[in-house]
Amino acid sequence: MSLWRYANPAEFMRVSGRVLPVLWALTAACLAIGLGWGFFIAPDDYQQGATVKILFIHVPAALMAINAWLMMLVTSLIWLVRRHHVSALAARAAAPVGATMTVIALLTGAIWGQPMWGTWWAWDPRLTSFFILFVFYLGYIALWEAVDEPDKAADLTSVLCLVGSVFALLSRYAVFFWSQGLHQGPSLSLDRTENVDNAFYWPLLVSIAGFVLLFLSLVLLRTRTEIRARRLRALQEVEARA
Amino acid sequence: MSAGAAVLGRELRLALRSGGGAGLGLAFFLITVLLMPFGVGPEPEKLATVAVGTLWIAALLACLLSLDRLFQADQEDGTLDILALSPLPLETLVALKAAAHWLSTGLPLVAAAPLLGITLNLPAPAFPWLVASLAIGTPGLSFLGAIGAALTIGIRRGGLLLSLLVLPLYIPSLIFGASAATAAAEGRDPGPAMLLLAGLTLAIVALAPFVGAAAIRLNLR
Amino acid sequence: MGLLVEGLSCNRAGRPVLEGIALEVPDGGCLTLRGPNGAGKSTLLRVLAGLLPATSGTIALDGIRLDRDRDLYGERLAYAGHLDAIKPQLSVAENLAFWAALHGSGGTAAALDALDLAAIAERPAHVCSAGQKRRLGLARLLVAPRRLWLLDEPTVSLDADAVARLLAVLREHLSGGGMAVIATHADLGLPEQRVLRLAPLAARAAARHTGPFLAGDWA
């Protein structure tokens, strides 16, 4: 029995239909525990006060923003190499979720930054990289929408995803060069997870698990929708020819 | 005349003859730079600080103008089919077309940039570096644009989508190119940025034809 | 050796267009494709040209398999689709000279003469009539020697005189051992003409539920 069995749409629909309710339940539990613990039980930070609590949304969202793109890269490669339709549709399904996570990360970052730095936005390398990532998501989604023929759209978006991955990474390093090349070194560090206190560590971990599960649930749900849309399209074509 | 020279010659002839490509990009470049002082004000000191960025971004946008027709025109009149069947590899075709795009669009911008630099009060030490950064950076823009053009061949009104796909890819080139010229303007060493830009452009020129050709093959079937 | 096609099928956008096509064209042979619109004539020509991938089956030209030796195969054929691949900004001679240079042959004079284009050689293509453009498109076949010609409705917008010239050119190609596959509604009256009739596959394939998204009963 191989993993590729699940690349068959019928098999995928059968299995995902059973898994999805469990995933939703786990998602709800993890998010409730992680966010509830973080918001109401974990102490305020001695420096940042209550604003630190937004970190329980900000950090997981930022992680998923990047991981969603990585998942799209892997599924795009699988489509190009093995031509499994479910893989291509999973990449398509993940894009809007990843884009939304990017927006959440940017917005929560701005809300956190306002009281802490006194500004909603700074052209800090990390903020800028996420902004760029968001633009890459937009281009990817737009290309999917623009191509009529689904298989060709899968082909072309896969190529774009590969090129985009290279340039998203390149941009990240270029942005560090730019920010240090034009200004003094970054005075605002966003690297908070490294020195985070134990009191924040566990609820943060549960929140991250919750976001991972949320992402998986949403992608499965959206992939199921995409598969149904393709089936509908195929059935309509058969109908039109009969 | 070899097959490659034939393609290059024809592309340049078409760019010059249709009154499209070359002239239009240059005119767009001039107008964009002309608009800038209206946006930021006529003070020379203020203009000097935005001169490098303005010239680079205007060049970047001017490069985009004629990109959407790079392969689409050939696909619409059946030329792309015949080219795909010809002995010339598609990779070579993409490279030649991107090169022709740079010669007809990028090169005039490089030539016009120092003149426009004067109007924006660009600091004197930055002139050679601005021209050099554009000369080294813009070929990369044309080759990246060829990838975008190949991806959007079959899309009606693909020009807007092309900008959305291609402009984010221009970010590293823009950062290194503008950094080099800015460093020169501020009396710092423009060397590192310039070397990074040159390396980036070389990598793009070497790899983009393969990606573009792959996208064309996917589009043809 | 000739052209040999066996068990050829082709899907477009997940839908079968050609199925189980078998054909053979010997040296000097000419095959005419007939059938109503949508029967897959143009698709078959594009598959034979290597522009569209076959879903299954083999195509061999002079023993060279399309799927194994693409470049060698491609060097033996010339394709003239329903688009003429003409740049309106260039003159007739410039258009043709480009294709000649691309295929590594110099002379365009013979091709211009054969299709009666010499008189308008310097005319910009955008002022040419539809028939003149068609002749220019067909002249491209003559700039480089090719074993197999694939022609999609070559007589469209040609007048009687031009059709006669096309036939003369075709006869010469065939008598030299060349081959041709032509999709056409017109009767060209070529000697020893073979005909392959294609019927639209849609009616036959409609009832079958194939493809990854149709298999199985789920919703």
Q: What are the pLDDT digits (tens) for A188-233?
A: 444 544 455 667 788 889 999 999 999 999 999 999 999 999 989 8
Over the Cα atoms of chain C, what is R_g? 19
The size of chain C, in residues, is 219
Site from B133, B169, B174 to mutate, A interface, most A CB atoms within 10 angstroms: B169
Res C35: pLDDT: 87
Res C214: pLDDT: 78
What mean pLDDT do residues A36-57 have?
80
Secondary structure class of B169 (helix, strand, coil): helix
Site from C83, C134, C138, C141 to mutate, B interface, most B CB atoms within 10 angstroms: C83
Q: What is the ipTM of this complex?
A: 0.91
**Range A69-102 burial, b when 16+ CB lie within 10 A, else e:** bebbbebbbbbbeeebbbbbbbbbbbbbbbbbbb
Residue A224: count of CB within 10 angstroms of its CB: 19
Contacts of B43 (CB under 8 A, 6+ apart): none
Res B130: pLDDT: 96
Residue of chain C whose alpha carbon sits nearest to that of A224? C219
Q: Could you give the dihedral angle defined by the CA atoms of residues B104, B109, B114 and B116, in that order, rounded to the nearest 10 degrees?
A: 130
What mean pLDDT do residues A113-117 have?
80
3-class secondary structure for chain C?
CCEEEEEEEEEECCEEEEEEEEEEECCCCEEEEECCCCCCHHHHHHHHHCCCCCCEEEEEECCEECCCCHHHHHCCEEEECCCCCCCCCCEHHHHHHHHHHHCCCCCCHHHHHHCCCHHHCCCEHHHCCHHHHHHHHHHHHHCCCCCEEEEECCCCCCCHHHHHHHHHHHHHHHHCCCEEEEECCCCCCCCCEEEEECCCCHHHHCCCCCCCCCCCCCC
Say yes or no: B157 contacts chain C, CB-CB below 8 A: no
Structure tokens given for C138: 């067909």
Site from B8, B72, B82, B90 to mutate, C interface, most C CB atoms within 10 angstroms: B82
User: Which of A122-131, A133-142, B43-52 is predicted with the least confidence, judged by mean pLDDT?
Assistant: A122-131
The pLDDT confidence band at residue A185, using thresholds 50, 70 and 90, is very low
Average pLDDT for chain A:
86
The pLDDT confidence band at residue A46, using thresholds 50, 70 and 90, is low
A-chain CB neighbours of C207 within 8 Å are: 242
* Choice between A95 and A7, residue whose per-residue pLDDT is larger: A95
Contact flag B168-A136 (C-beta cutoff 8 Å): yes
Strands of the C64-65 sheet, one edge to the other? C15-25, C3-12, C56-61, C64-65
Contacts of C7 (CB under 8 A, 6+ apart): C20, C21, C22, C56, C57, C58
Which residues of C sit within 8 Å Cβ distance of B?
49-53, 71, 74-75, 77, 79, 81-87, 89-90, 94, 98-99, 101-104, 140
Cα C218 to Cα A183, A218, A225, distances in angstroms: 59, 21, 13
Which residues of C sit within 8 Å Cβ distance of A?
13-15, 202-203, 205-207, 209, 211-216, 218-219
Structure tokens given for A225: 């929708």
Res B144: pLDDT: 97
Residue of chain C whose alpha carbon sits nearest to that of B85? C74
Contacts of C115 (CB under 8 A, 6+ apart): C135, C136, C138, C139, C142, C162, C165, C166, C169
From the list A13, A230, A241, which residue is nearest C218 (CB)? A13
C-chain CB neighbours of A150 within 8 Å are: 14
From the list C203, C213, C219, which residue is nearest A230 (CB)? C213
Q: Which of B52, B42, B45 minimizes the C-alpha distance to B188?
A: B52
**DSSP-derived pairing of the beta strands C56-61 and C3-12:** antiparallel
From the list B154, B165, B200, which residue is nearest A139 (CB)? B165
From the list C14, C15, C215, which residue is nearest A10 (CB)? C215
The pLDDT confidence band at residue A24, using thresholds 50, 70 and 90, is very high
From the list A146, A167, A175, which residue is nearest B168 (CB)? A167
Secondary structure class of B27 (helix, strand, coil): helix
Residues of chain C with pLDDT under 50: 206-207
Res A184: pLDDT: 37
Cα distance from B101 to chain C (closest Cα, Å)? 17
Res C192: pLDDT: 61
Site from B64, B68, B161, B165 to mutate, A interface, most A CB atoms within 10 angstroms: B165
Contact flag C214-A14 (C-beta cutoff 8 Å): no
Structure tokens given for B77: 């009149």
Contact flag C50-B85 (C-beta cutoff 8 Å): yes
Chain A from 131 to 190: CB within 8 A of any B CB? 132, 135-136, 138-139, 142-143, 146-147, 152, 155-156, 159-160, 162-164, 167, 170-171, 174-175, 177-178, 181-182
Secondary structure class of B205 (helix, strand, coil): helix
What's the pLDDT tens digit per position in C15-72?
778 888 889 999 988 899 988 888 889 999 999 999 988 888 999 999 899 888 888 8
Secondary structure class of B155 (helix, strand, coil): coil
What's the pLDDT tens digit per position in B156-211?
888 899 999 999 999 999 999 999 999 999 989 999 999 999 999 999 999 999 99
Structure tokens given for C79: 């394709």
Residue C184: count of CB within 10 angstroms of its CB: 16
Residue of chain C whose alpha carbon sits nearest to that of B89? C71
Residue of chain A whose alpha carbon sits nearest to that of C13? A149
Q: Using an 8 Å Cβ cutoff, are C29 and C2 in contact?
A: yes
What mean pLDDT do residues A53-72 have?
93
C-alpha to C-alpha distance for C3 and B115, rounded to whole angstroms: 62
C-alpha to C-alpha distance for C33 and C18, rounded to whole angstroms: 13
Tens digits of pLDDT across chain B (221 residues): 588 899 999 999 888 886 556 788 899 999 999 999 999 999 999 999 999 999 999 999 999 988 988 999 999 999 999 999 888 999 999 999 999 999 999 999 999 999 999 999 999 999 999 999 999 999 999 999 999 999 999 898 888 999 999 999 999 999 999 999 999 999 899 999 999 999 999 999 999 999 999 999 999 87
